[in-house]
Structure 1
Amino acid sequence: MAPGTAALELFLDEVQTFTAEFEQELRSSDQRVLETAAGTLSLKRPNRFLWSYEAPIEQLVIADGEQLWMYDVDLAQVTVTPLEPGDAASPAMLLSGEQNVRDSFDIVDDFALDGQDWVRLSPKPGGADFRSVLIGFRDGLPAELELVDGLDQTTSIVFSEIAVNTGLSDSVFEFEPPAGVDVIGGEG
Structure 2
Amino acid sequence: MPTRRSILLACLAMTAITAPSAPAQPAPSDALAKAVQGHYQQVRDFTASFEQAYVGGALKRKTVERGTVAIRKPGRMRWDYESPEKKLFIADGTRMYFYVPADKQVRVSAMPESGRVPTPILFLAGRGDLLRDFRAEEVPVPAGATGSRALRLRPIRPEPEYDTLTLVVDGTSFAMRQLIVVDGQGGTSTFSFGNLRENVGVADSRFVFTMPKGVDVVTQE
Larger radius of gyration: 2
**CA spacing shift, 1:89–1:98, aligned 2, 3 Å:** closer
| TM-score normalized with structure 1 length | 0.88
Contact 1:17–1:168 (CA under 8 A) maintained in structure 2: yes
Contact 2:165–2:182 (CA under 8 A) maintained in structure 1: yes
1:97 maps to: 126
The amino acid that maps onto 2:86 is E
Listed one character per residue, the Cα deviations across residues 29-78 of structure 1 (whole Å, up to 9, x for unaligned) are 78944211000111111111111111111111111100011001111110
- 2:144 is equivalent to residue 115 of structure 1: no
- 2:137 is equivalent to residue 137 of structure 1: no
Q: What SS does structure 2 have at the residue aligned with 1:74? A: helix
Cα separation, 1, equivalents of 2:116 and 2:102: 26
1:76 maps to: 104
Deviation (angstroms), 1:106: 2.1
Matches within 5 A, 1:4-153: 4-28=32-56, 32-85=60-113, 88-107=117-136, 109-111=137-139, 113=141, 114-138=146-170, 139-153=173-187
Richer in strand (by share) = 1
| TM-score normalized with structure 2 length | 0.76
Q: Which runs of 5 or more residues in structure 1 are unaligned?
A: none
Contact 1:29–1:154 (CA under 8 A) maintained in structure 2: no
CA RMSD of aligned residues (A): 2.3
The amino acid that maps onto 1:148 is V
Q: Which runs of 5 or more residues in structure 2 are unaligned?
A: 1-25
Cα separation, 2, equivalents of 1:79 and 1:93: 17
Deviation (angstroms), 1:87: 6.4
